[in-house]
Amino acid sequence: MSETNTETTGIPKEIERFNVIFRIQHVLMFTTFLILSFTGWGLKYAHDPEGLSSVWIRVWGGPDTAGLIHRIAGITMLLDFVWHVIYLIYLFATKQMTINTKTTVIPLPKDVFDVIKNFMYFFGLSKEKAKFGKYSYAQKFDYWAVFWGMFIIGSSGYALAFPMQVSYIIPSFTSGWIWELLGLMHSDEALLAIVFILFWHFYNEHLKPEVFPMSWIWITGKISTDKLKHHHPLEYELLFPEEAKKEKKG
């Protein structure tokens, strides 16, 4: 797996992993995520540590302004998510995207085995790490975590931002407990999302020795064929079957 090998063969040096629309959606997602985390944190921990949250919220223009910023960022994030879903539907409808077990982001039984295999590798019980298609289980987890977040935090956030409008559509029997539940859902799962991003996403896409300081795919959208072969061997085999076969023999 040296540089010269790829140059002599007829395969491209790099391939597009995420097109510009996906990249814009990602930028919108993380900017709004950061803004929401920063402004929401002050309200979640309004009382502790004593006095600090008041100072922090003042950084964001005081509680009135911080609330407005939080709402605007939240709506932007929800629209971004809706855009993403509609775009996916469009891609499927026009057959620009099809489901293939080696390229899909949908979780498969293989991902569970991959997790087990990797844990065995970490403990020295397996000589090999798991081999991934286009998306490793770590990346799938990252991706679907956003859907979970949108479902729990997004929906509750919408209800809390527009309680009057939402109150008309909730069933009467829920009104006694749903507001309390929505508040808890929003705040608890927001903390989960923040810790998840800090540990999982930051380690896997920023701190890991092989990507530090960050994976540049979010800007360029491109991955080198070398890296593809190394990190996503199954996708590489799918895209360049002949090269892969040759290399295996050689």
Partner 1 sequence: MSQKTFAVAVAPLLFLLLLLPSVGLSQESETCLSCHGVMKGSLKTQRGTMVDLNVDTEKFNASVHATLPCTECHMRFSAGSHAASGSAVPSDILSLSSKIAAKFKNDPVAGAACAKCHAEVYQKVLSGVHGKNITEKKQVDGAFCLDCHGSPHYITRVKDGKSPMSRKYQVETCGKCHGSQAIIEKYKLEENVMDSFRESFHGRKLHLGHTRAPVCTSCHNAHDIRTKSDPESPVFGKNKLETCGKCHRGANEKFVPAITHKRPGPIPHYGEKLLILLTMGTFAFIISHVLLEAFADIRDAVFRKKEGK
163, 219, 245, 246: which one binds partner 1 (CB under 8 A): 163
89, 181, 214, 219: which one binds partner 1 (CB under 8 A): 181
| Binding segment (CB under 8 A) for partner 1, from list 3-11, 25-33, 175-183, 221-229 | 175-183
> Do you know the residue count of the chain?
250
Rule CB under 8 A: is residue 205 a binding residue for partner 1?
no
- Nearest approach in angstroms of CB 90 to partner 1 is 32
Rule CB under 8 A: is residue 180 a binding residue for partner 1?
yes
Q: Per-residue contact track with partner 1, 13 to 32, x per CB under 8 A?
A: --------------------
Rule CB under 8 A: is residue 176 a binding residue for partner 1?
yes
The rounded distance, in Å, linking the Cα atoms of 97 and 115 is 26
The rounded distance, in Å, linking the Cα atoms of 100 and 234 is 11
The rounded distance, in Å, linking the Cα atoms of 117 and 111 is 10
User: Torsions phi, psi of 11, nearest 5?
Assistant: -90, 150
Mention every residue, 6+ apart, whose C-beta is less than 8 A from residue 54: none
Mention every residue, 6+ apart, whose C-beta is less than 8 A from residue 6: 13, 225, 226
Looking up tokens 């190394």, which residue turns up?
A: 230
- Nearest approach in angstroms of CB 58 to partner 1 is 8
Rule CB under 8 A: is residue 113 a binding residue for partner 1?
no
Peptide bond into 107 cis (omega under 30): no
Rule CB under 8 A: is residue 49 a binding residue for partner 1?
no
Going through the chain in order, the beta strands assigned E by DSSP cover 14-16, 222-224
Half-sphere exposure (Cβ direction) of 66: Cα atoms closer than 13 Å: 21
| Binding segment (CB under 8 A) for partner 1, from list 4-12, 20-28, 41-49, 71-79 | 41-49
Which residues sit at the interface with partner 1, rule CB under 8 A?
1-2, 42-43, 46-47, 53-54, 57-58, 62-64, 67, 118-119, 121-124, 138, 160, 163-164, 167-168, 170, 172, 175-177, 179-181, 183-185, 188-189, 191-192, 195-196, 199-200, 203-204, 208-209
